[in-house]
A and B are shown apart, each in its own frame.
Chain A
Amino acid sequence: MSDLTAGAVLPARRPGLPYAVVIVLLLALLGAAGTAAIAAGSVALPAEQVWSILLHRIHPALADQTWTAVRETIVMDVRLPRVLLAAVIGAGLSVCGMALQALVRNPLADPMLLGVSSGASVGAVTVVVFSLTVFGAFSLPIAAFLGALAALVAVYFLARSGGRMTTVRLVLAGVAMAEVLSAVASFLVVTSNDPHKTQSAVRWMLGGLAGTTWTTVWIPAAAVLAGTVVLLAVSRPLNLLLAGEEAASSLGLDVHRFRAALFVLVAMMIGTIVAVSGAIGFVGLIMPHVVRLLIGADHRRALPATALLGAAFLVMADLVARTLITPEEIPVGIITALVGGPFFLWLMRRRSK
């Protein structure tokens, strides 16, 4: 290869906001959403008191205690774990959505559209309805995880023909799989004789974060963090997938092995997430699109941004879900679907132009 021509310079800067500014704005949004979500509720707390309590917990010297022990309990044991879980799940669904969209090279792929969450539902509902305790306290998340993995693998192989996976077949296989598995889950719920079990199974399927405690936060948080780090490590190969299968191969990617490994990773993340939250739709579909519109499709830049945006979005959605018609709580999956459905249609119309 010959020498570089001297003075080859890029003409214009990438249009739009600089990346660092976008990240700072998203962090500010997440901070504001988190503060509002901890402050709001049956006992309303001023924002500065929320921060004082949090800072005091980090180190007592950072803030003087001027509040009651009850308020500290509300912040630390009731609202903070729930807000953290919402952030973790929002971030996890968004990065999984973005990875899946690259993996199947279809911008309409979503964890919930590919039958993955229905698979998790069948696993979780089976555990609830039959009171299975094979894996002790972790029976439900493990069953949901296995269900998600099974569904994703089934969809993956149904969508392949002659060694190639076409996006049309993938979406069709995903929709069919989701329908069948939802029917199985519904059947299990309806035929269960125990109304208590039925109610908890239905609650679970609608998706919600009610009753979150610290014990439910750790496993999904660890899974999402680890999974996101892995996805960041493979962000260049993810970019190659957008170029198409042959181009990706010629650029040094073992496409089939990479896809298979990533499917397993994403299924693990989604399974873990869905196990604690139920099926929360549309987050994984919308957030990647908004981020691509803001800063482009390069995964090295888009993955961190989509994680932050997804976290902030679900924290806000969960805040609406639990405060809109207090004291009743709406499953957060209903809120995200109400926002996401119209967005999906808008996107569809925009693409067909």
Chain B
Amino acid sequence: MKLIVEDVSVQIGDRYLVSDVSLEVADGEVLGVAGPNGAGKSTLLRTLYRVRRPTSGRVLLDGEDIWKMPAGWLARRLAAVLQESSGDFELTVYDVVAMGRTPHKRAFDGDNAGDKAIIADALDRLDVAGLAYAPFDRLSGGEKQRVLIARALAQQPATMVLDEPTNHLDLRHQLDALNLVSALGVTAVVALHDLNMAAAFCDRICVMDGGRVVALGTPAEVLTPALLSDVYRVEADVAMHPKTGVPHVTLHTGGSRVTN
């Protein structure tokens, strides 16, 4: 599904968290969103999954303004993987993943065999089937993150928005999770801190700073020493990885500049 962000700004008081962002994500494309802390990545993503209404501009999914459609309409087409949440309730992992079926259900509808198969499949793909009846609250951060990705899968969306989906995951599960998202063939917008992961898994990368898009293009176009120096204020080398052919960022760990 094609996702278009059209001149989106988010303003709180007189401060712009996101300012005049325009993006087009093609059907099946994986777009990475990178940028330093406070760049507006999460706020931009919130306008996509209908939590933060843009102060101006529109978000179009499949040609429809998502802020003019019912919430359920969007949830059947777009799933969000948010930073982990928890509560004081005895929800099991199964219960949390089963929530993903909600947008497809009416009042009093039970979970039919199809739903159960979808839930079991999602649990299995994220390697959390063995935890199905464990209390969600007692899982580790990485396990919770995988469960939340499984919930998004159970939603069976054509579009996914993922906010730092791998920050708690070990290396194996980072690769698995990102491989899974790209193998699904869905349109995806993924906020990532790890630029090498972004370079390996994203078709294009959008770099934000101060609420604006400062670079947008393929990993090779975007990830340059000049950009890393401007945006992140770090010195780094970028080389093409000999085996994978994607750009690889190496930080000069001794040479980071402290400007304030």
Contacts and interface: CB of A to CB of B under 8 A. Distances in A.
A105 interface: yes
A234 B107 contact: yes
A251 interface: yes
Given A251-B100, A251-B103, A107 B89 contact: yes
Nearest to A233: B107
Interface string B49-82: 1110000000000000000001111111011101
A215 interface: no
Contacts of A137: none
Nearest to A167: B88
A14 B133 contact: yes
A105 B88 CA distance: 8
A250 B89 contact: no
A79 B67 CA distance: 56
Number of chain A interface residues as a range = 35 or more
A8 B117 contact: yes
A314 B125 CA distance: 46
B92 interface: yes
Contacts of A232: 108
Interface in A221-254: 232-234, 236-237, 239-240, 242-244, 246-247, 249-254
Contacts of B129: 8, 10-11
B123 interface: yes
A4 B154 CA distance: 11
Contacts of A293: 90
A292 B85 CA distance: 19
B120 A240 contact: no
A239 B132 CA distance: 17
Given A12-B133, A249-B50, A243 B72 contact: no
Contact of B88 (A2, A246, A351): A351
A105 B91 CA distance: 13
B34 interface: no
A251 B155 contact: yes
Contacts of B156: 1
Interface in B93-148: 94-96, 98-100, 102-103, 105, 107-108, 110, 117-118, 120-121, 123-125, 129-130, 132-133, 148
21 contacts: A1-B184, A8-B117, A8-B124, A11-B129, A12-B132, A14-B94, A15-B133, A102-B89, A234-B107, A239-B91, A239-B95, A242-B87, A243-B85, A244-B87, A247-B148, A249-B50, A250-B51, A253-B102, A254-B71, A292-B90, A300-B110
Interface of B: 46, 49-51, 70-76, 78-80, 82, 85, 87-92, 94-96, 98-100, 102-103, 105, 107-108, 110, 117-118, 120-121, 123-125, 129-130, 132-133, 148, 155-158, 183-186
Interface of A: 1-2, 4-5, 8-15, 101-102, 105-107, 232-234, 236-237, 239-240, 242-244, 246-247, 249-254, 292-293, 296-298, 300, 351
